[in-house]
Amino acid sequence: MKMQWEGKSFIENLPRIYGVYTGGFVLFFILMAVFEKFGMSAEMIGILFLAFTLAIYAFIGILSRTMAVEAYYVAGRSVPPVFNGMATAADWMSGASFVAMAGGIFMSGYPYMAFIVGWTGGYILVATLMAPYLRKFGCYTVPDFIGTRYGGKFARLCGVLVLVVASFTYVTAQITATGTIAARAFQIPFEVGVWLGLFGILLCSMLGGMRAVTWTQVAQYIVLIVAYLIPIFWMSNKQGLGFFPQIEYGPAVARIMELETQLGVGTPPAETVAGLKALTALHATPVGGWLPAWQFVTLVFCMMVGTASLPHILMRYFTTPSVRDARQSVAWSLLFIFLLYFSAPCLATLSKLQMLDPNLPTSIIGASIDQVMSLSWIEKWGNINLLAIRDSNADGILQINEFFLNPDIIVLATPEIAGLPYVISGLVAAGGMAAAMSTADGLLLAMANALSHDLYYKIIDPKAETRKRLLTARILLLVIGAAGAGVASLKLTGILGAVAWAFCFAMSGLFFPLVLGVWWKRANRPGAIAGMLGGLGAGWWYLLAVRNPEAWYGLAQPWIGLDHLRFGVVGVTASLIFMIVVTLLTAAPDEETQRMVDEVRIPSGDTIIPSKV
């Protein structure tokens, strides 16, 4: 029987539906804990957790299947603010947020807080500058807004180009996260794991489009937030840090600083880290001078502006019933995102203390290397080349500079590091998979919808019938997903690195054409095109220049400390300059367009459906 995932009765029953779902998930967790007590293997528990959650997501996708254009592209514009907030939070809680962010803080401390500050602050820009106004415009996609606001097929095509570049870069990071989880759960090579992860991602988005992804993401948020918080509370209880460790872990930070001083944290010899391309030492080397503060600020800036430019996030606010609901959705999104971001530094701290403190039974630094190598979690992660130990001084004792691990595994390995029951590890793996899949679904859908709606339907074949348009979107999902898995398998950069690049691409090409499209009615088509292409081109050149200093276009040193994670500063500056200069040198938009922009800025009233659409 096909459930109607829309309509008044369904919307009214949403709390009960997801309440039953949450209860069922809790019962499954308890059942797995009982099976573990009776001797079920860790590998089987991990597989069952992933299989159970993937089956639920696929079931929702099948129930939500549709051939209606509006339901496929914007979920029917009937999603209540609280549930749209949960879906947006899941869309946002990517592999970077769930899997990689705490790992970055674990390795290098406060500099990685720039991601948290920037990503959270970006929603302030979304709420104040974009979400309500884009919703009022009544478009399906970000390129749809670009094409409608500025007019002309070429402007729409430029919007599609920037969207695909940014979203494709981002989706490779999510597929990397799913590959890491699948590799650990099934003890398979990472290069195989990315394809298995892609299969799960496509199950959720192929049939139902935005409607299926929306209701799946609500379910995924419940899984990921439960999976993230339970290990924190469990470790806090074991370490005696209180019931709310997020506000009480100061003593743990002080203890880590004391231990690192005693252990002599420093820079490992070059020969020790040679060949460990995917691994990072368990410490950070401090850097003096003005550069760290400047780089913190510029990374925050890139993450904030990039957040407000990401097409798959802005798409979420096209699904609400009204302009007012779009604004409320942003508020709910911030609340649900806060629950994880407020907890990430705490998780990194507690996990690191579990490794370092000799008073805890899980400590490994200072222990016999033979003893450490016999630990199951060391063996399992080492087998898939995400962890390594090098006895550089041949004394048989593990020093802090002899232990290397990929920071992307910290959250996934924390339950094992802390000696928690393996059922917690299965739960965390399911949560990480939910986080990566939810974002990947949104990204793949954003790209496929932009190409099928804005390129194929709006430019190539305006007379295409509905079935043909949706079939095109689904074929594109497969093609883009396969390309993303192929790139992810190459391990060109870590999860956080790929995410930072995506944000920088998005802000370089889209931020000012979107913002000025709402707030400057003089902005015109030539200016928007120059802003998109000029910003994207400048940002891309700078990324290549700092990554390839030996090339003819390379830079021996980054400009004022703007490394490859911050090239968006260059791109967005170029975009602003190009857009303003070209706009002022060319004719103003017609009066109809200017009146339309004036109406869009009124934060209430009916959705505008311009005659140009």
What does the pLDDT read at residue 278?
A: 41
| Residue 254 belongs to some domain of the structure | yes
| Residue 387 belongs to some domain of the structure | no
| Residue 393 belongs to some domain of the structure | no
Confidence (pTM): 0.80
Torsion-angle region of 240 (φ positive above 0: left; ψ -120 to 50: alpha; else: beta): left
| 3-state DSSP assignment of residue 586 | coil
Given the structure tokens 């398998």, which residue do they identify?
A: 489
What does the pLDDT read at residue 270?
A: 43
245/231 Cα distance (integer angstroms): 11
Burial of 27 (0-12, 13-18, 19+ CB in 10 A): exposed
Instruction: Write the DSSP symbol of residue 557.
Output: S
Tokens of 217: 């993401």
Convert the pLDDT of each residue in 573-612 to its tens digit. Answer: 999 999 999 999 999 998 888 888 888 887 665 565 543 4
Tokens of 95: 């592999």
What does the pLDDT read at residue 211?
A: 66
| Residue 398 belongs to some domain of the structure | no
On whether the CB atoms of residues 317 and 329 are closer than 8 A, the answer is: yes
| Residue 447 belongs to some domain of the structure | yes
For residue 466, how many other CB atoms are within 10 A of its CB? 12
What does the pLDDT read at residue 75?
A: 47
What does the pLDDT read at residue 41?
A: 86
Q: Minimal CA–CA distance to 402: which of 386, 418, 387, 380?
A: 387
On whether the CB atoms of residues 400 and 279 are closer than 8 A, the answer is: no
What does the pLDDT read at residue 268?
A: 45
Q: How many residues comprise the chain?
A: 613
Tokens of 367: 């222990």
Longest dimension (CA), the chain: 79
Residues 6+ apart with CB under 8 A from 155: 146, 147, 525, 528, 529, 532
Q: Minimal CA–CA distance to 547: which of 501, 515, 588, 586?
A: 501
On whether the CB atoms of residues 14 and 84 are closer than 8 A, the answer is: no
What does the pLDDT read at residue 189?
A: 81
Spans of the chain, pLDDT less than 50: 1-5, 67, 69, 71, 74-76, 267-279, 281-289, 610-613
| Residue 547 belongs to some domain of the structure | yes
Structural domain span for residue 22: 8-353+417-600
* CATH number of residue 279's parent domain: 1.20.1730.10
342: Cα separation from own chain's centroid = 16
542/551 Cα distance (integer angstroms): 12
What does the pLDDT read at residue 295?
A: 87
| Residue 74 belongs to some domain of the structure | yes
| Residue 360 belongs to some domain of the structure | no
Tokens of 459: 């430019």
What does the pLDDT read at residue 612?
A: 41
- H-helix or E-strand containing 403? strand 403-405
Q: Between helices 142-150 and 525-547, what is the axis angle to 10°? A: 140
- Domains in the chain, number: 1
On whether the CB atoms of residues 139 and 145 are closer than 8 A, the answer is: yes
260/253 Cα distance (integer angstroms): 11
